[in-house]
């Protein structure tokens, strides 16, 4: 069941870049694996999903928004978050809204399947698979601090993933001082 497995290592690796105590949005949150992890780090969390059972499951973790974001309007217009997390999900018409949801000083942590994934499993439709460099283009107005595009063996999958900061005009250059590792 989506959202009950362990948090993505990519999300765990970069979660320290989310400003302390800032709200986090988990898009297509499933049953809340990232919401649980980020709430445990002290962030107020919001999850969006179209599955009523998933939303019921994540309700105790924070704000739970039931919405069909592929067939309806973006449910959080104008709202911004210190962290926006997306894993194993791609709906291209939403990419501008997702990027716009990153607050100044905030971070986007995004990981999903690359086009080569069709060779090893599902999803296999090009509509749900990223083209080479696509996440970099999506983040052109953000400062990319981490990017990977390749194969992971366990389970076998081709992924593309990015971590990108929205510079805060009130703190120019602050992104330059953010550690790339969570240690001290």
Domain CATH for 135: 3.40.50.150
The percentage of residues in the chain with a pLDDT greater than 70, rounded to a whole number, is 92
Residue 59 has pLDDT above 60, yes or no: yes
Neighbouring residues of 28: CB distance < 8 A, sequence distance ≥ 6: 48, 49, 69, 86, 87, 88, 89
Domain hosting 134: range is 9-177
Q: What's the total number of domains in the chain?
A: 1
Residue 110 is predicted with a pLDDT of 97
Q: 2 in a domain, yes or no?
A: no
At residue 78, φ and ψ (nearest 5 deg) are 80, -10
Q: Is the pLDDT of residue 181 over 60?
A: yes
Please write the tens of the pLDDT for every residue from 105-156: 999 999 998 877 767 778 777 788 778 999 999 999 999 999 999 888 888 8
Q: Is residue 3 part of a domain?
A: no
What is the average pLDDT value for the chain, to the nearest integer? 90
Residue 16 lies in a domain: yes
CB 82 within 8 A of CB 105: yes
**Residue 58 pLDDT class (50, 70, 90 cuts):** very high
Task: Report the distance separating Cα 113 and Cα 51, nearest Å.
Answer: 21
Does residue 56 sit within a domain?
yes
H or E element in which residue 132 lies: none
The answer as to whether 94 is a domain residue is yes
**Within a domain: 182:** no
Residue-wise pLDDT for 2-13, tens only, equals: 556 899 999 999
Whether residue 107 is contained in a domain is answered as yes
Confirm whether 22 is domain-assigned: yes
């Amino acid at each position: 069941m989506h959202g009950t497995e362990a948090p993505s290592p990519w999300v765990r690796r970069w979660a320290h870049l989310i400003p302390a105590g800032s709200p986090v949005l988990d898009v297509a949150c499933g049953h809340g694996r990232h919401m649980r992890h980020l709430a445990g780090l002290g962030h107020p969390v919001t999850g969006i999903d179209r599955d009523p059972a998933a939303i019921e499951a994540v309700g105790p973790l924070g704000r739970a928004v039931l919405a069909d974001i592929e067939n309806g309007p973006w449910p959080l217009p104008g709202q911004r978050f210190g962290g926006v997390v997306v894993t194993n999900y791609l709906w291209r018409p939403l990419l501008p809204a997702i990027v716009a949801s990153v607050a100044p000083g905030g971070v986007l942590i995004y990981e999903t399947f690359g086009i080569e994934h069709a060779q090893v499993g599902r999803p296999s439709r090009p509509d749900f698979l990223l083209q080479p460099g696509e996440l970099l283009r999506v983040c052109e107005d953000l400062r990319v601090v981490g990017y990977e595009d390749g194969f992971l063996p366990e389970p076998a999958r081709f992924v593309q993933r990015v971590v990108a900061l929205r510079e805060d005009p009130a703190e120019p250059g602050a992104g330059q001082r953010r550690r790339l590792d969570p240690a001290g």
